[in-house]
Amino acid sequence: MNAHEIDYHIYGEEMQYVEIELDPQEAVVAEAGSFMMMDSDIKMDTIFGDGSNQDTGVLGKLFSAGKRLLTGESLFMTAFLNIGHGKKQVSFASPYPGKIVPIDLSEKGGKFICQKDAFLCAAKGVSVGIEFSRRLGRGFFGGEGFIMQKLEGDGMAFVHAGGTMAKKVLGPGEVLKVDTGCIVGFSQTVDYDIEFIGGIRNTVFGGEGLFFATLRGPGTVYIQSLPFSRLASRVWAAAPRGGGKDKGEGSILGGLGDLLDGDNRF
């Protein structure tokens, strides 16, 4: 195998974390901000890109890392290497409520396509690159732009699904229609496109956007019930506006609600 062969265990229900067990000289790479805890004798190092192109020279490394800028990610990732003599553990946490999904790339034909913010961590040697859309509609209306991330190699990778995760195995020609933001990722055999919902009432009053994704099998698709963009928009909509205290905003009771909960200043 090209990628390091790692063992893992996922803990928790709503807020999960994955504990990865590293043998001596084994390593895992992760996005910045996902680290939770680690044993002693694990060396943490910041690297260009994902560290999968160590033999391509300086220009090769810069090109590999630079492609990550197109997905809105940092030029750098963090590598965690076991420099001790026994097995050591390092853990990575999910960024918001949901599920951590283990992806064995050797079972996915060596490639898995996911949303740019879904990737959590992977065994050293897994390549984290970009997947260009070949269809114009995806770029303008897909919600993820022209570019999604692709995970390539033969090792383990871990992605995060917000809320509850649904795994759908599509047969040849079978079609699944999904809200564009609810896609976590899919195997490379799945054909992905954008479809206009249509209808004046759907467009003006539907509240579900103008487009959804069509995923055509064969292949496996992972769907999330709570995309981060949806969570953020709900939090933003519920946040009080202005500098003052506005606890009754949006409430049927309004100011009367403040009186009932003890805020009775005049």
123 three-state secondary structure: strand
pLDDT in tens, 190-218: 998 877 765 544 444 444 456 788 899 99
Q: Which domains does the chain have, with CATH numbers?
A: 7-236 (3.60.160.10)
- Residues 74 and 68: beta-carbon distance below 8 Å: yes
Question: Which residue shows structure tokens 């809320």?
Answer: 163
Whether a cis peptide bond, with omega within 30° of 0, leads into 218 is yes
Distance of CA 225 to the CA centre of its chain: 13
| Assigned token pair, 256 | 């009367």
Which of 13-22, 75-84, 127-136 shows the lowest mean pLDDT across its residues? Answer: 127-136
This prediction has a pTM of 0.77
- Residues 13 and 72: beta-carbon distance below 8 Å: no
